[in-house]
Structure 1
């Protein structure tokens, strides 16, 4: 009886050994697609679109502003009238100069007649040489006075013309610094004009960042109201000294192209980035350390299995790791649950995994 029991148990063990082992369960995992980074972000700053060329203009003569003919934001053509002064003083100066000219012209007629008379007397032998010399000298002096009076009239006419402030180029009025009724001096800044043809981006950068900007820095410029309006830019000018209150330096950027949406005064967002050697960034949860070596788990899209792969680390933060090699752009890597995987294990990629 005991022998029969032993034989039955042996037969049962043989039958069990001939059965196949149960398959490994398919494990759902989170994964990410590897993407190479070619740019390093240095920051994002706010700024505005401004004209590269601006001019602060004023009257060439002093006086009281009689009228202001355009408003801020107006686009004016070459020769357009911006403002005028009260012309009373200049008109009086012109009349005074014209009166002096008439007086000198009358004096010249007398001097010419006297010079001719003295010359005739001298030619007949009844006139003295001294009287002839005096007459000729008086004629030359009067002629010089006439030239001076004519110049004074021309100058007075110019002064009268200067009571009108006109543009010498197409421009947009960006600021007024004086109002009608205000008395201004010659050359005092009255209005600011911007040439609209050439625009640039203007931002304020921290003084510490300016000193660290690489030579190949790239600026991405986008409209704050419509981020789809973009352009690239390069540094044209950086102020040599930082502003004492903010410790920032005004930076002017030349735009590669100027979309129509980049109007003067448009608020922009400027992103600074620098070209770097391509590198690979993954979530820190994708990294596994085994026996002092770092590895990741790469998903085979054909077989839906995973395999470990050793990698080299460049840098690490609380959230991400930057790899030097071991994986290629476009491959998919398990981003969570790496400690429970085995080589060749089948996995199910979560549809909610980031792409």
Structure 2
């Protein structure tokens, strides 16, 4: 074989190798693309919702289905902010038919939702016969202890170094320093050395002074 013929053969061989490598790369891309068309659940469960259509192109990370994992059923609760991030460990779930199921806390979010100001919590249903998946149930939880005392908002006197209320003792006024925990248009919740059943002045605190004699009248 002449030198020229050998060079042509080498050139054809290199071209064939390049074509083979290109074809193999296209095969790998096709296999990858085929793999993207298959969705595999990480665990066994029940498909609750499907939000995509066959042939639809979805973005990376876009949810296309909701899967309820096999195992103990749970109920999700949006807890009011007064529960904080430490809700009750146990409670009850009441189904639409009136049946009561004990529940146990599994997880709770570490921060309140910035819009609803609620904490998302999940409770495990402690029963062998739970309500059907997707059911709406009523959850009954022990209420957190209420801190402080509720007084009319007009009882708060802030003329001094801090907030105070005026307590009536034996017909005379006594200033009681308090910490205002919360307040709305009608009432305030305060913390301070008050006792159940004690009376405080509800209005006109801006004219009161220590030891002033007052007379209580029934409404």
> Which of the two has greater helix per residue?
1
> Which of the two has greater strand per residue?
1
- Which one has a bigger Cα radius of gyration? 1
User: What TM-score results when the alignment is normalised by the length of structure 1?
Assistant: 0.33
Higher relative contact order (CA 8 A, sep 6+): 1
